[in-house]
Structure 1
Amino acid sequence: MRRSLLSLAIVAALIAAPVLYSAESTAQEAQTSSDEWDAWDEFDEFEESEEVSPFTWAGFGEIAVGQRLNSDPAVNTDKTLRDLRVQLQADYTLEASTLSFRGDLYYDGVLDSVEVQIREAAWQGNLAFLGDWGSKFDAKIGQQVLTWGTGDYVFLNDMFPKDYQSFFAGRDDEYLKAPSLSAKLSGYFDWVNVDLVVTPRFEPDNGITGEYFSFFNPQFGMNVAPAFEVLDSNEPDDAEWALRMYKTVGQTEFAFYGYHGYNKTPMAADEQGLPSYSRLNVWGASAVKPLGPGLAKVEYAYHDAMEDSDGTNPLVPNSQHRFLLGYEQELIANLTGTVQWYAEHIVDHDALMANAYWPQYEQEESRHVVTTQLMYRALRQTLTLNWFNFYSPTDGDGYMKFRATYSPVDEWQINGGANLFYGDEPHTFYSQFKDASNVYASFRYFY
């Protein structure tokens, strides 16, 4: 385009000039025109030679506060969230792969400590250097956050580590998923796609241990907050294996899962009664497909307690069947609704009750949870309102989350919300956290 404009300008100048040009001046004009063309050629070569930097970086700074709504006799502070955080994100693109880094440095005012969390430090790329067969595989090796499955805040086959303390305190949802040092191999074939994840050393959940929120202890029949830690001798150092095979047939995506490792929370105990992690295998499947105006999903998982095959050991959690049915659709413009039914069925429940130390506090044979969600986006997508409620009709308790996010520009974001627990019995899952109900707010600046 630039060359066309230049040609038109030269022609116009020749027409407007005096007719009596000498041969010498005409030659000089031609030479000048040639020089100008050469200059444009050099400019184009400069543009083509300019390279995009392989290194990119970004991040954010954040301040977040949260306050308990009710005093908790077991915890000596009303603070539930006091974060001053900086996150750095950096990527370096190689010829056929990428090096990625995500790291957080933050001051935790609840614990009065400075914390560092490396959420990602990994190499990711295709294995084409191994030949045609290798080109069908991608690999990601290093610290990374992993997830799969179909549930919203409900996990059946996703056995990757979670951070429930961050979730209950009101940190961003990204912190619900905790990182692990793993190797992920993904294969893509006409008949099936495969993900294989190996974590060389077991990585547990960051559960409720009494540091931020108290929890029910059946031995005392009340909530306690000892901020317990699992002894090194009771924490496995074996590898974990997770497998997913998935394929889209028509409009339905099918997936099959497998896991070999341990329970992610220390629900078991050793002979001295100290918390430990029990061996666990998980097998399951899921399907997701469009249905009517929305999206339907179904998922199943069998949690096989390897150390308690008949349910008679009160120190080890029993095996479970887990089921999930869900449906999501846009109700009106910018308003999306989701409903889920989730169930846990304990295998050998009669044997559990016959051998339990505190049978009055044991979970019912079948526990049901219904979740509902409404998400509304307004002000040209700059404001998001998210309401999510867990309700268990079998336990008579629940947990309601509300979060508002406002980001009118790319540079900053304001969040605010509440975590509200309710129920009648002090020992049921959600009701035990009633004194943990809190409100929170945060400001995040992106750079």
Structure 2
Amino acid sequence: MIVSPYYQHSSHSCSVNFKYRIIGNPGASLIVSTQLIPLHAISAEETTEEEAADWVNPTVRKIIPSTKSEALSIEVGIGEVGYPTRIRIECHPGNSEISKGTNVATECFIDDIRLTECEEHIWQPNVCSMDSQPKRYLCHKFAEQKCIDFSDVCDMHDDCPNREDEDNTIHNCKLAPPSARCDFEESRYIGGCEDWVIYNSANSIELIKLASVIEAISQSAKVRGNRISGAFRQTKMPLDKTYSNPNSGHYLMFSTFGDDYSVDEKFEDSGGLQYSHAMTPVFPRMDPKLKDSTNKLHGRCMVRFFFCHIGATNFQIILERLKTHQKKVIWTPPRSSLIEPCIWEKAAITLDYQPGEYFLKFGIAKMNNHKSMFLMDDFSMSPDCFLMSKTFLKLNFLK
């Protein structure tokens, strides 16, 4: 018998695939089944022996009869699992062997076992414990338990059943101010986010603007003179990450293609230094508990956002301390997309403890003369970054 680890989560499309060959009398078979973890491993509830035995009774998914042919491939549907579950593949002798008392052995050969479209998570005791590294959160308020990264909590995207990870009463998500929870859909502001600053220099080769999905669609067909923009043919735009809707949505765009989006031709072939940037408002100092490696809050101040980029993109995020003017590059993209339109990816950055006020600056690095475009959407900071926000507001009021 072959037994998998216990999986605590899988998608509805999950299946197990493998190659097999069965040698034996007629009636020999392989049985593929799933089996729940013993109830006492996940629950303190008292149960009878009969209930406990019934809980772990395997559910047969497929009976595969013997065949005289060579090795075959098969796909067996597993689907979603609500509790930790393992997969069993058992070799069974044929009924004729048992009834006749023959000594003919049944042999089952299994190879190349693969789970496909499962998005599985291997179950481990205390996998979401605060002692585990990296720390993870257990979605536990509803029937299905699921572990997610702490970077997924309060990131404006649903990762737990029933939006548990975005529940303000549980996680105090709204402790982060609106300027730290940006979907770039706030049309009252030039950058689509409260109190953000967008600065486009006159001699810059870069343009930063709030890009509209509808605008991108309409501009892609625009004729300039007697030609369609050549740059636009190079830069297909993705759907908005917030709504995933082909007809609506905005994201923040940093572009050096020039011909795509510039207000006039000054962005074309200027060769000038790049000084354009986007900037957050000033954020308060952090709670000293975040610098204590023994405290559960350690490492819990995070910046999260979705991004996609095309071209030789020397994009960077800089953290700058207000009083000391110390600057540090805290993130650059891991690579540039080779697919158009580019694919949205998620970034999560753990911020070091900041004893004073600070802000974040975004832009393409200076002296970058390459054609490139970087898009950002659904920017969020975890609420643990703002545990001192009440003190910050009080001090600024007294000033």
Fold-level similarity (TM above 0.5): no
Higher strand share: 1
The structure with higher relative contact order (CA 8 Å, sep 6+) is 2
TM-score band, normalised by shorter chain? under 0.3
